[in-house]
Chains A and B, each alone.
Chain A
Amino acid sequence: MDDGIERHLAAGRHARAFDLVVPAYKDRVFRLAYSILKDRAAAEDAAQETFVRIWKALPGFDGRAALGTWIYAITRNTCLMELRRRRPTVSFDDPDSTEAQHAAASIATGPAEDPEHDNLLRLVEALPRNQQEAVRLFYLEDRSYETVAEQLGMPLGTVKNLLHRARKRLMGLARPDEVKAA
């Protein structure tokens, strides 16, 4: 798929290249945005903004990085700007805060009102941000370490370590009684 896009780019047919970029990358861009923003509507807005930026920047794409790497970097920057924009209003103590609403929405959109799943989602929320992002993306991308590494712009080994530490931490958090007993 990227071959066709790169042929159009090399020939200066940016609008046609863009028409291929959107269907090829929209889902992965959205999932990456969701793993960072943890909110479906915000992720969709970020995906829209990402593609607008891609549209504007596509004539300047020089092919030094792989197209996917370039697109994911734009996605991450867009999401981080959104997080930075939200930051002044973040307060976990305030139930009306945007972040708290996002966390609640994230839990509420789970596949079932299963108390175990609900509890697990709360534990994921307690992980450090980079581990949360990696965990969400890993399961969204059907457990593909390579895809997660490409999307997060990290080496494969770093992603494996991050996920391993996250899951070990979740195992520890999931058995607090044993922690106390230990």
Chain B
Amino acid sequence: MNEMSFAGPCADCEHDLVELLEGSLGPERARVIRLHVESCPRCRAWRAEFAAIDAGLAAALPRPALSADFEHRLQARIATLPRPVNRSDLRASADREHERLVDTLRRGARRHALLDGIGSAAVAISVLAAARVLVEQTGALPLLLEGPQRLVILGGIGTAVALAALAWTAVRSRLPLAG
């Protein structure tokens, strides 16, 4: 705590002295520091004291070792744990889920297209059948289509077809037909 109150080594030698003791000082600088230490009692005393603390710590500090059964106990503990999920497994699982979803959407779209086709064909056939019955019963339709009311008659037929298509769409959206 009050170590700074001691007469320490020469300020520019302190770190070099430590490196000299640890054998990490370059050979040229080591030669200079050795020569200096020989002529400097402060640095000599500090070096001896540092070496004593260093050796004392190396000898005094406990060097505990792991128990011989450390790995065995660890493996026993690991065996009780669930196997961790690999990132590659997670990615493959997400890919599979994505494929399944896309496949379901494709099948749904195909079913919708088929139902739309069937619905449209049914509406068209119904309209044609109704028109045929009308013509057979009245026998007047060809005359009407040739007359000035032609536009009104054709408009009425078009509106009937459009209303039938709208009705089909409304009915289909209420029925659980989606895939």
Give chain A's interface residues, CB within 8 Å of chain B.
Answer: 12, 14-15, 18, 22-23, 26-27, 30, 34, 40, 43-44, 47-48, 51-52, 55-60, 106, 109-111, 114, 116-118, 120-121, 124, 135-136, 139-140, 143, 164, 167-175, 178-179, 182
Mark the stretch among B65-73, B118-126, B134-142 that contacts chain A: B65-73
B59–A117 CB distance below 8 A: yes
Tell me the smallest distance from the CB of A21 to a CB of chain B, in Å. 11
B35 within 8 A of partner (CB): no
A116 touches B61 (CB 8 A): no
A-chain residues with CB within 8 Å of residue B8 when the two chains form the complex: 168
In whole Å, how far is A119's beta carbon from the nearest beta carbon of chain B?
A: 9
Q: Bound complex: CA of A179 vs CA of B2, how far in Å?
A: 7
Docked-complex contact A59 and B85, CB < 8 angstroms? yes
Contact, CB under 8 Å: A124 / B61: yes
Instruction: Check: B110 CB closer than 8 A to any chain A CB.
Output: no
- CB <8 Å contact, B60 and A109: no
- Which residues from chain A contact B6 at a C-beta distance below 8 Å? 171-172, 175, 178-179, 182
Do B57 and A139 touch (CB < 8 A)? yes
Chain B residues near A169 (CB-CB < 8 A): 1, 3
Chain A residues with Cβ below 8 Å from B57 are 120, 124, 135, 139, 167, 170
Closest chain B CB from A143 CB (angstroms): 7
Q: Is B99 an interface residue (CB 8 A)?
A: no
State in angstroms the CA–CA spacing of A56 and B77 once bound together: 12
Q: CB distance A140 to B56 under 8 Å?
A: no
Is the beta-carbon distance between B60 and A120 smaller than 8 angstroms? yes
A89 to chain B, nearest CB (A): 23
Q: How far is the CA of A143 from the CA of B53 in the complex (A)?
A: 13
Is B39 an interface position by the 8 A CB rule? Answer: no
Known: A51-B78, A58-B84. 20 other contacts (CB 8 A): A12-B87, A14-B86, A26-B66, A40-B64, A43-B64, A48-B73, A52-B74, A52-B81, A55-B84, A56-B81, A110-B61, A114-B60, A118-B60, A120-B60, A121-B60, A167-B50, A169-B1, A171-B6, A179-B5, A182-B5
